[in-house]
Each structure stands twice: as C-alpha cells, then as structure tokens.
Amino acid sequence: MFHLSEHLKDLLISFGNDNLPIFFHRFFIRLVETCYNYPLVFLFILVIIFLVINILLIILTLYYTNTRKNRRDRYFSIYSNHYEEVLRKYLFNEIDWDLTLVKLKRYKRPLNRRILISVLVNFQEILRGDVDNAMSDIYYRLGLYNDSIRLTRSSRFYKKILGFRELTNLYPKGAEEFIEQYINSPDDLVAAEAQASYILLHPENPFDFLKKLTGPFTRWTQLTAFYLLRKHPISVPSFAGYLQSENRNIKKFSLRMIIYFQQIECESEILKMLDNPDETVRFLCIQSINSLRLFSGKELLKNRYPSETLKNQTEIVKALRNIGENEDYDFLENIIKSGSITLQTEACRALYYLNPECLDRLKLTDPKSELKIKQFIAHVTDQRN
C-alpha cells in the first residue's frame, strides 16, 4: 500500500514536471507534497469539497424544479384565465364559434388542451342548464375526449381516474362504452372511480354494476355512492334485489340504503337476512326491522335472541322498544332479571317507553331489585342519555 502511494506521488510529480506550465508547476508540486505529508488534512479537504459540490447540486436542482414548476403554474394560470374569458363570451353569445376557435390560442398543444379541459370541467361543476350542455358540446367539437380516453389507457392510476372523471362529466356517451370494463379492476382506486362513474352514467339503474361486481365494494365507494344519490338526480332503486348478492359488503350497503330510504316493500327479503351467518348483516337487518317498524319480524327476533351475540341482542331489545306490545313484557322482564347491564338498561328503557306501569309491577314482584330498577329508570329518563 505504502509503495503504491509512493509510486503515485512520483507519477504526479513527474506529470507536473513534464506537462504543467512553470507558474503552476511549483504550486502543484507543493500541493502534492503537502498532501502526502499530511494525508488527514488532505482527506478532510476532499470531504469538504465533496459536500460543497453536493450542496451546490441540490440547490441547483431545487432552483431548476422550482423555476420550472412556477413557470408551468404561471402558464397554466394565464391560459386558464384566457380560456375562461373566451368561453364566457361564447356562452353569452358575444362571439360565434369560429371566432371562439381563433381566440382559443394554442389549443392544439397537449398542455393547453389539458388546461382547456380543466376549465370546461370547472364551468360544468358550477353551472347547470344550457351552459352544462354547451361545455359538453365544446369538449366534443374540439375532440378533447381523445385526450381523456388516452389518459384512461395510462398505466398510472391517477391519470386513469382523471380520464374517467373528464369523460363522465363531459362526454357520458363515450364513457359508457368502456367504463364497465374497469369496474372489476385489480386496482382498488381505479375500480372505485369506475363504480362511481357508472352510477352517474346510469341514472336509471345506478347499481346494476353490483350484479357484475367480483371485487370488493369498499366503504369509500359506498359513501361515494350515497353522496352521488343525494347530490344528483339519480333514481333510487329498490335494494331488495341486491340483498341476494354473495358479497357481504353489498348486503350491508343495501340494508343501510333500505333504512335510509325507508323501503318498506323489501320486508320479506329483510326478514330472510336474519339467518345470515355474518353478524354485521344480521345487526343491520335488526336495525332495518326496527327502523321500518316491521312488526312481522318481532317473533323472529325474539326467537333468535338466545343465539345472538351481545351486540345483536342489544339491538333486538332496542327494536322491541318500537315494535313491542303487551305480550312482550315478560320477555323484557326476564332480560331485566338476568341479562348483562347493557341489556338490562335497554330492556328497562324499552319497558319504560312501552308502559312505565310495567316497571312498577316488576318492583312489586321482585322487591329486591327495586333499588336497581330505580337506578335504571333514573338513567333512562335522564335527558343526557
């Protein structure tokens, strides 16, 4: 090692003697000798130089990307404003189509087409009526749908999703053709977006895709579907048919929708769900019976009570508060005598609201439990509970 470094030193000195000009030669020789006499100092200087170069590179990269981003944002903003102005004039019939095309400068450039599409989507999001149709018309006439279709073929999920949204909003007919193939996409995000698009594209049968769904029907998509149902003029289907689905998420969603839209016509299908092996499905089923006041399900609930989980037992007792009758007093009394605290509280609440006198009878028949029942009643009648 020592020999090698000595050899390298000799090589450097002879290189300096042979090739360097006289004014630099002495400095170079001194530098080589110093470095070999004080190797640690040399190493330290090298590290510092390396770090400084690194910092400079980072600063330059940051500066370059920042400048590029700012320039792009400025470009986007200038052309957005310009396109908004031109489209506004076109919408209010202040300029005709030919003049509009002339004024839509550089609209053939890919970036400008992106800007134009985003302006059209923005217009469509805030305005409805004739303006809404005009935006779709411009989108079609300028062939911008080709740009969106190209996005849907991208391998990147966010580009695909952007393409779906643009087509669904501005060119529904075009979107209908291929959105179905993405409903069961292996990418959850793409599938969720395709499902949301399907709902918007088929306002008459928004949930038909559930019959073809092989992948998960995520909670996020369920929430989106509910949001779309409320926000857009979409007809609400009867969810009874979807209760037969093998996908338990579809069953749960359907039961929630049945409760929300009070679809009492689904009574027989709801009652069948009480035998479902999934605890949450049965829980929602009990909630449906309670919410829709399905008195025909009362005996079924009572029969199921002993074999149910605590969560579902509590829900059954809650349901009896609304669908219970005189004949159910004994059932509730037994729960007060033997159930867990949660069940006792709910049974007491149910009895209190069905017939408070019944609780007095209970106190008389079982004097030992009088104090306990008084505490339950105090809890039930407390406004904060």
Partner 1 sequence: MKKILLAEDNKLILETVAHNLIREGYEILKATDGKECLEILEHTKVDLIITDLYMPFINGYEVISHLRDEKNDKTPILVLSAGGAEDNVLKAFELGADDFMIKPFSLMELNVRVRKLLTMKR
Smallest distance, partner 1 to C-beta of residue 85, A? 8
Q: Is 57 or 127 the residue whose CB approaches partner 1 more closely?
A: 127
Q: Is residue 294 a contact partner of residue 274, using CB atoms and an 8 Å limit? A: no
Determine if 130 is a binding residue for partner 1 (CB under 8 A): yes
Closest-CA residue to 274 (of 315, 236, 234)? 315
- C-alpha–C-alpha distance, residues 32 and 8, integer Å: 10
Contacts of 192 (CB under 8 A, 6+ apart): 218, 220, 221, 224
Angle at 306 between CA 302 and CA 311, to 5 degrees: 90
How many residues bind partner 1, per CB under 8 A? 15
- C-alpha–C-alpha distance, residues 147 and 142, integer Å: 10
Q: Is 73 or 370 the residue whose CB approaches partner 1 more closely?
A: 73
Determine if 123 is a binding residue for partner 1 (CB under 8 A): yes
Sole binder of partner 1 in the list 21, 22, 92, 383 (CB under 8 A): 92
Determine if 132 is a binding residue for partner 1 (CB under 8 A): yes
Determine if 169 is a binding residue for partner 1 (CB under 8 A): no
Contacting range for partner 1; rule: CB under 8 A; set: 4-12, 82-90, 207-215, 371-379: 82-90
* SS3 letters across 169-211: HHCHHHHHHHHHHHCCCCCHHHHHHHHHHHHHHCCCCCCHHHH
- CB atoms < 10 A from the CB of 289, how many? 27
Contacting range for partner 1; rule: CB under 8 A; set: 123-131, 166-174, 360-368, 377-385: 123-131
Smallest distance, partner 1 to C-beta of residue 230, A? 9
Determine if 131 is a binding residue for partner 1 (CB under 8 A): yes
Sole binder of partner 1 in the list 82, 100, 116, 124 (CB under 8 A): 124
Angle between helices 188-201 and 172-179 (to 10 degrees): 130
- C-alpha–C-alpha distance, residues 165 and 199, integer Å: 12
- CB atoms < 10 A from the CB of 319, how many? 24
Determine if 98 is a binding residue for partner 1 (CB under 8 A): no
Angle between helices 2-19 and 22-37 (to 10 degrees): 170
Contacting range for partner 1; rule: CB under 8 A; set: 118-126, 215-223, 258-266, 335-343: 118-126
- C-alpha–C-alpha distance, residues 319 and 79, integer Å: 60
Contacting range for partner 1; rule: CB under 8 A; set: 62-70, 106-114, 120-128, 189-197: 120-128
Smallest distance, partner 1 to C-beta of residue 254, A? 24
Smallest distance, partner 1 to C-beta of residue 169, A? 11
Q: Is 84 or 327 the residue whose CB approaches partner 1 more closely?
A: 84
Determine if 74 is a binding residue for partner 1 (CB under 8 A): no
Q: How many CA atoms lie within 13 A of 380 on its CB side?
A: 24
Determine if 136 is a binding residue for partner 1 (CB under 8 A): no
Contacting range for partner 1; rule: CB under 8 A; set: 127-135, 203-211, 249-257, 295-303: 127-135
Q: Assign residue 262 a region: left if phi > 0, alpha if psi is -120 to 50, beta otherwise?
A: left
Sole binder of partner 1 in the list 20, 28, 122, 149 (CB under 8 A): 122
Stated length of the chain: 385
Sole binder of partner 1 in the list 1, 40, 110, 128 (CB under 8 A): 128
**Applying CB under 8 A, which residues contact partner 1?**
84-85, 88, 92, 122-132
